Each structure stands twice: as C-alpha cells, then as structure tokens.
C-alpha cells in the first residue's frame, strides 16, 4: 500500500500597512478619520503611561513593572475591536489593551504600586484581574465561553497571553477545550519573542505560533503585531466569527518587547543590541504616523498637541493614584471569602490591633 498524505495545512499572515506607511487599500478596515485618530491617541497614551510607569518605578513610587514598549499596536489594535460587555482575560503586560477597553488608568498605577484595590474592575466591564501566573488564565476564558454558550449569549471572550505561555500545559488544555466545543473565544498572543531571557527559537520548534491552533481544529493566523490596523482587522473578524457561532480563533501578533522583561530585569545580558536596533525601525507608532500623514490626518503640530493631552491624562491618573489613602491592614481579609470563618475573624482582630 502506498503512503498517502492525509492533511496539509497553511498559515496565513496579515499585514496592511508597511513600514513606510503605505497601506493595502483592499485590506483597510472601514474606520473613520476620527476612529483612526482615536487609535493613534491610544497608542500614544500607552507609550506615555509606560514611560511614566518606568520613571515612577525608578523613583520608588511603584513596584516592579513590566514595560509594554513596542507592543502598543498589538494591544490597542486588538482591544479596539472588543465590545464593552465582552469578557476579557488579560495576562500582566496588557496595559494598553486595558486603557483601550476603558479600564481606569489610575487603578493600574495603584495595582503596580502594590494596592490590590486597583484590580477591582469597574461594574459593567467584564475584565478579569491581571494574571501573573503565565497562561493559567486561558482555561478561564474557555470556561467563560462555555458558560456564554450554555446561557445562549451571543458574546465572545478574549484571552491575552505571550509567547512563553504557549509552552504551558494550560495553553494546550484550553485550546483543546475550545476546539472540541467550538467555543466563542479569541486567543490573542503577543509574540514579543522573548520570555525573559528565552528567545522564541528556544521556546518552540514551530516556525509560527499561529500553526499551533491547527492541531486543535481551528484557525490560527499570524498578523504583523506592529501594524495596528492589521491587528484590529484580524481581531474584529475573529470576534464576529465567535459571536456568530463560528468557533475559536488564535491570533499571533508578531511583535517585539523593546524594553526589559520587567524593571527587575536587564535584557542586555542576553539580547543582542543589533536586534533591538532593527526592531526600533519597526516602531508601531512611527508606522501609523506615516500612514496617517499620507492621508492628511497627522502632522508634527497635531502630534505635539496630542502628546500634551496624553501627558495631561497620565498626570491626572498619577495624581489620583497617589491621592488614594493606603489600604487598612484589615483589608487583606476583606475578600478572602464571602464570609470570614471564626478563626479569620480573630486573626483580623489581631492584625488590626497590633
């Protein structure tokens, strides 16, 4: 009996704007000038937040912080497509996605400043708390999607994670569940190519991460993660598919972590400076500026004005964060359970008395 081929697969890649700001008009998502400018502002706001967070960390005003520098397009572009009531399960480096979804900026400073109260998502938003343990939130997204389907809700669920998470068992268990049950979930990986000091080639033998979805029976697509419109378009399509019963999608946003893993890391120990320099040329903000300039939506003066506005918004967030009185010691007991046990009540008393 001759050997035969049972299956062949291919992986799509999407890029809409090139590095010079030229766009493939056929692929451009239908966004108004105002929406394009809003996207630009959110990119700028994310970068401004990030710079300020790094400065605050150096001054000892917040704790260890993971920079999002270089990943702004992957975050803003994807979150811009998500509806306010949809369920989102972030990892820990999604500050830009969170602002875009409307999460209060001062609360993020508060959280990274060591105050858990910053993780209380405002009512009416279904954003799960930041997940520090890598990839373990992916089954929650699958579960919420299963619940949405059980309830007959036409809603979608989004989970964010990084390239390192694709090595974790929970990634595979969640993908398998999503595939088997055709769940309305969109998995968004910001492949920033470094999991602390481990480069992608040492993380996986797959040439793309997107192809991992194929093994679980659903689509995976790689998008240029520094192209905000490509990320937006891919996410919007995946969400529409999810909402209409078409099942899960995996979007690999190929991007780059320009900064250290966190403020406690020194990437120069393991990462060649030429590589960082090459990616600097592919800056997601620069690319979008060039695109907007070509369409008459951007000039230096406008950029300076927006920059001032972003600085003002971040100033205000820092002011609000630092004006919040520190949490009371008893606060550590406040939400351990719906009710405290008699032991916990006594311990609370001890903690607050000493």
Partner 1 sequence: MTQLNMVQAINLALREEMARDDRVVLLGEDVGKDGGVFRITEGLFEQFGPDRVIDTPLSESAIVGAAVGMAAYGLRPVAEIQFMGFIYPAVDQLFAHAARIRTRSRGRFAAPLVVRTPYGGGIKAPELHEESTEAFFCHMPGIKVVVPSGPYSAKGLLLAAIRDPDPVLFLEPTRLYRMVKEEVPEGEYTIPLGRARIARPGSAVTVVAWGSMLQRTLKAVEGYDAEVIDPQTLSPFDGETLLTSVEKTGRLVIVHEAPRTCGLGAEIAATVAEEAILHLRGPVLRVAGPDVPVPLAKLVDHYLPSPERIQAALDEVLRY
Catalytic residues, by residue number, are 257, 261, 270
Among 38, 63, 128, 311, binds partner 1 (CB under 8 A): 128
Among 54, 119, 286, 293, binds partner 1 (CB under 8 A): 119
Which of 142/259 has CB closer to partner 1?
142
Q: How far is the CB of 89 from partner 1 (least distance, A)?
A: 8
Structure tokens at 28: 């451009």
Among 244, 268, 344, 352, binds partner 1 (CB under 8 A): 344
Query: Per rule CB under 8 A, is residue 324 in the interface with partner 1?
Result: no
Query: Per rule CB under 8 A, is residue 262 in the interface with partner 1?
Result: no
- Could you identify the residue written with the tokens 């003066």? 301
Identify which range of 7-15, 19-27, 97-105, 145-153 contacts partner 1 by CB under 8 A.
145-153
Among 44, 62, 95, 148, binds partner 1 (CB under 8 A): 148
Query: Per rule CB under 8 A, is residue 342 in the interface with partner 1?
Result: yes
SS (H, E, C) the chain: CCCCCCCCCCCEEECCECCCCCECHHHCCCCCHHHHHHHHHHHHHHHHHHHHHHHHHHCCCCCCCCCCCCCHHHHHHHHCCCCCCCEEECCCCCHHHHHHHCCCHHHHHHHHCCCHHHHCCCCCCEECCCCCCCCCCHHHHHHHHHHHHHHCCCCCEEEEEEHHHHHCHHHHHHHHHHHHCCCCEEEEEEECCEECCEEHHHHCCCCCCHHHHHHHCCEEEEEECCCHHHHHHHHHHHHHHHHCCCCCEEEEEECCCCCCCCCCCCHHHCCCHHHHHHHHCCCHHHHHHHHHHHCCCCCHHHHHHHHHHHHHHHHHHHHHHHHCCCCCHHHHHCCCCCCCCHHHHHHHHHHHHC
Query: Per rule CB under 8 A, is residue 173 in the interface with partner 1?
Result: yes
Identify which range of 41-49, 149-157, 187-195, 233-241 contacts partner 1 by CB under 8 A.
149-157
Q: How many CA atoms lie within 13 A of 78 on its CB side?
A: 33
Query: Per rule CB under 8 A, is residue 150 in the interface with partner 1?
Result: yes
Which of 177/188 has CB closer to partner 1?
177
Query: Per rule CB under 8 A, is residue 187 in the interface with partner 1?
Result: no
- For residues 283 and 305, the answer to whether their CB atoms sit within 8 Å is no
Query: Per rule CB under 8 A, is residue 93 in the interface with partner 1?
Result: no
Query: Per rule CB under 8 A, is residue 329 in the interface with partner 1?
Result: no
Query: Per rule CB under 8 A, is residue 335 in the interface with partner 1?
Result: yes
Query: Per rule CB under 8 A, is residue 267 in the interface with partner 1?
Result: no
Which of 225/248 has CB closer to partner 1?
248
Among 28, 41, 121, 282, binds partner 1 (CB under 8 A): 121
| Binding residue count for partner 1, defined by CB under 8 A | 44
Question: Which residues are bridge partners to 87 per DSSP?
Answer: 126, 157
Which of 119/293 has CB closer to partner 1?
119
Query: Per rule CB under 8 A, is residue 138 in the interface with partner 1?
Result: yes
Query: Per rule CB under 8 A, is residue 268 in the interface with partner 1?
Result: no
Site residues, partner 1 (CB under 8 A): 87, 89, 116-117, 119-121, 123, 128-129, 133, 136-151, 157, 169-170, 173-174, 176-177, 180, 334-338, 341-344
């Amino acid at each position: 009996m001759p050997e035969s081929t049972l299956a062949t697969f291919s992986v799509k890649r999407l890029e809409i704007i090139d590095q010079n700001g030229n766009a493939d008009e056929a692929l451009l998502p239908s966004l108004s000038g105002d929406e394009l400018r809003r996207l630009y502002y959110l990119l700028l706001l994310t970068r401004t937040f990030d710079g300020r967070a790094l400065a605050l960390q150096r001054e000892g005003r917040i704790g260890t912080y993971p920079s999002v520098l270089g990943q702004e397009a992957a975050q803003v572009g994807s979150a811009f497509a998500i509806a306010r009531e949809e369920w989102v399960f972030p990892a820990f480096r999604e500050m830009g996605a969170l602002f875009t979804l409307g999460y209060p900026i001062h609360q993020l400073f508060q959280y990274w400043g060591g105050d858990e109260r910053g993780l209380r998502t405002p009512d009416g938003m279904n954003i799960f708390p930041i997940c520090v343990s890598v990839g373990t939130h992916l089954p929650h997204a699958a579960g919420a999607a299963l619940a949405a389907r059980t309830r007959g809700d036409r809603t979608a669920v989004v989970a964010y994670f990084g390239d390192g998470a694709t090595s974790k068992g929970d990634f595979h268990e969640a993908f398998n569940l999503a595939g088997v049950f055709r769940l309305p979930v969109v998995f968004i990986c910001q492949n920033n190519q470094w999991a602390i000091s481990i480069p992608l080639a040492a993380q996986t033998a797959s040439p793309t991460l997107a192809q991992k979805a194929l093994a679980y029976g659903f689509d995976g697509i790689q998008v240029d993660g520094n192209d905000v419109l490509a990320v937006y378009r891919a996410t919007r399509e995946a969400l529409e598919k999810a909402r209409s019963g078409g099942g899960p999608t995996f979007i690999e946003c190929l991007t780059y972590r320009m900064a250290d893993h966190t403020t406690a890391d020194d990437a120069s120990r393991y990462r060649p400076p030429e590589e960082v320099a090459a990616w600097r040329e592919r800056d997601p903000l620069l690319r979008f500026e060039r695109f907007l300039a070509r369409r008459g939506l951007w000039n230096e003066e406008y950029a300076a004005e927006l920059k001032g506005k972003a600085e003002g918004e971040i100033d205000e967030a820092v002011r609000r964060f630092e004006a919040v009185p520190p949490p009371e010691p008893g606060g550590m007991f406040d939400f351990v359970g719906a009710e405290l046990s008699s032991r916990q009540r006594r311990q609370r008393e001890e903690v607050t008395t000493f």
